[in-house]
Amino acid sequence: MSEFTELVLSDAEDRMEKAVAHARGEFASVRSGRASPQLIERLPVEAYGVEMRLVEVASVSVPEARQLLVTPHDPANLEAIEKSIRISDLGIAPSNDGRSIRLNFPPLTEERRKEMVRVVRKMAEEGRISIRNIRREARKDLEGAQRDGQVSEDEQERAERELDKLTQAHEAVVDQVLENKEEELLEV
């Protein structure tokens, strides 16, 4: 393979891996029956007159399977953190003891579990679409190079087959992560 096709394939693979990592991050932000720090780490908190992410102003730990403990680095930010959690769409009431905030996650109802499964399926489809868009852009680059005479028709076809393999492999990873998340959500 020419240097150009290797470059196109390498770039596509890197971008597909980032798309998979993004999908994983999105899945982690969906609440299952378990407490997970990823649920709140990206919440915006108004601290020192600037909007910051919660993970920048506090540490988050998991003392129990259904509980998160948020301890601010600076106790002056406790109320701002509590306010941020209250206005988020988590639907969890924070419990403030003056030094830290506890979040107790109630078990999900069957209806809520099914709704969450629909949400993660939509996220997975967005991940697959992103991967396919990367494939389409790489194909366009390869076709343009073939038209310009940079690569032969045979080499273009080989590169496109390789691109299809990359696409299928990355979509399979998204599907596996989706399957794991669905099991986690439906677990009672």
- pLDDT tens for 155-175 read 999 999 999 999 999 999 999
Decide if 129 contacts 171 (C-beta within 8 A).
no
pLDDT in tens, 56-114: 999 999 898 888 899 999 999 999 999 998 888 777 788 899 899 998 887 778 887 88
In DSSP terms, 96 is beta-bridged to 101
Same domain, 174 and 114: yes
| pLDDT tops 70 at residue 121 | yes
CB atoms within 10 A of CB 96: 14
Q: What is the pTM of this model?
A: 0.70
| pLDDT tops 70 at residue 6 | yes
| pLDDT tops 70 at residue 33 | no
What the block records as the tokens of 77 is 């930010």
In whole numbers, what is the pLDDT of the chain averaged over residues? 89
Site of tokens 């909007």: 51
Question: Among residues 77, 104, 131, which one ends one of the domains?
Answer: 104
pLDDT band at 188 (very low <50, low <70, confident <90, very high): low
Question: Among residues 72, 104, 136, which one ends one of the domains?
Answer: 104
Same domain, 23 and 90: no
Same domain, 25 and 52: no
Site of tokens 């780490």: 41
Cα separations in angstroms, 87 against 83, 84, 108:
6, 5, 20
Same domain, 89 and 156: no
Same domain, 117 and 182: yes
Q: What is the pLDDT of residue 138?
A: 95
By DSSP bridging, strand 44-47 and strand 101-104 are unpaired
Same domain, 72 and 15: no
The CA-CA-CA angle for residues 117, 23, 107, to 5°, reads: 35
More confident residue, 108 or 135: 135
DSSP 76: G
pLDDT band at 115 (very low <50, low <70, confident <90, very high): confident
Nearest to 56 by CA among 36, 70, 35, 66: 70
> Residue 93: which CATH number?
3.30.1360.40
Q: What is the pLDDT of residue 166?
A: 96
More confident residue, 34 or 177: 177
Same domain, 134 and 159: yes
- Gap between the Cα atoms of 32 and 66, Å rounded: 10
Domain of residue 88: give its range: 37-104
| pLDDT tops 80 at residue 8 | yes
> What does residue 31 show for φ and ψ, rounded to 5 degrees?
-75, 125
| pLDDT tops 90 at residue 42 | no
Site of tokens 């971008």: 15
Question: Among residues 55, 73, 104, which one ends one of the domains?
Answer: 104
Same domain, 10 and 45: no
Q: What is the pLDDT of residue 109?
A: 82
Decide if 101 contacts 40 (C-beta within 8 A).
no
| Residue 62 CA to its chain's centroid (Å) | 20
Same domain, 180 and 132: yes
Number of domains in the chain: 2
Burial readout 60-72 (b: 16 or more C-beta within 10 A, e: otherwise): beeeeeeebbbeb
Same domain, 49 and 9: no
| pLDDT tops 80 at residue 153 | yes
